[in-house]
Amino acid sequence: MTKKTALRKEIIAIAGKIFDTYGFRKTTMDDIADGIKKRKSSIYYYFKSKEEIFQSVVLQEAVLFRRTIINAIKKENSPCDKLKAYVLTRMNIIDGLGNFNKALQDRRLMHIDFVVRLKKLYDKEEIYLFKNILIEGVNNNNFQIYNIDLAATAFITAMRGMENTILQNKDATNINRQIEAIIHIFFYGIVKRL
C-alpha cells in the first residue's frame, strides 16, 4: 500500500469516527484535520469537501454491510434459515455502522445527492436480496406466497420499522430473542392454528 493510499484510508477511518460521534452537520474539516493530526490542506489534497469524505465513509460501511449479509445468507441452506440469517445479521450489524445507518435514516441528509442515490440503491438491493430468498422458498415449497414483490416489501418495511425500537436496548441476548420472536411472527403469523 502506498503512502498516499494509506493516508486516504486513515482520513476515511478517522473521519468515520468523528462523523459517527458528532454527526455530519456538526463535523468540520478542522475536526477531521485535528483527528489525523495534519493540516486541512492535506485533506483537501485527497478530498474536495466534507461531503466527499462522508460519501467515502458511508460507501465503505455500505460495502461492509452488504458483504456481511451476503456471507451470512450463503452459510445457510434452507430459505427459512437464510431469512433468519438475513434479519439477525442485519439487525446486529446496522447499529455498528452508524454513518451508513444515519445516511439512510436522517432526513436532514437528503439534500446530499449521493445520500439520495444510495438510499434508492439500498432499497432496491435489499428488496432484491429478500425477494430471491422468498422465491427460493416458494420454489422449494417452504413458503406459500401469492405476491412475492408485496411480501418482500412488507418484510423489509416491517423490519426497518422495528429497527430503532429493538436497537434501543443494547443487550445482545435480548435483541436476538426479540428478533427471533419477530421472525416467528413473520413465518407463522398471529392466527392460531387448529
The domain limits of the chain are 1-47, 58-188
- Whole-model pTM: value is 0.83
Q: Average pLDDT over the chain, rounded to whole?
A: 87
Choose the weakest-confidence range: 1-5, 120-124, 163-167. 163-167
Contact 146/58 with Cβ under 8 angstroms? no
Query: In the predicted model, is pLDDT for residue 72 greater than 80?
Result: yes
58-188 topology per CATH: Tetracycline Repressor; domain 2 (1.10.357)
**Superfamily the domain 1-47 falls into:** Homeodomain-like (1.10.10.60)
Amino acid at residue number 160: R
18 or 155: whose pLDDT is higher? 18
Q: Give first-to-last CA distance, the chain, whole Å.
A: 63
Summarize pLDDT for 107-133 with one digit per residue, the tens: 888 888 888 888 888 889 999 999 999
Mean pLDDT of 128-142: 94
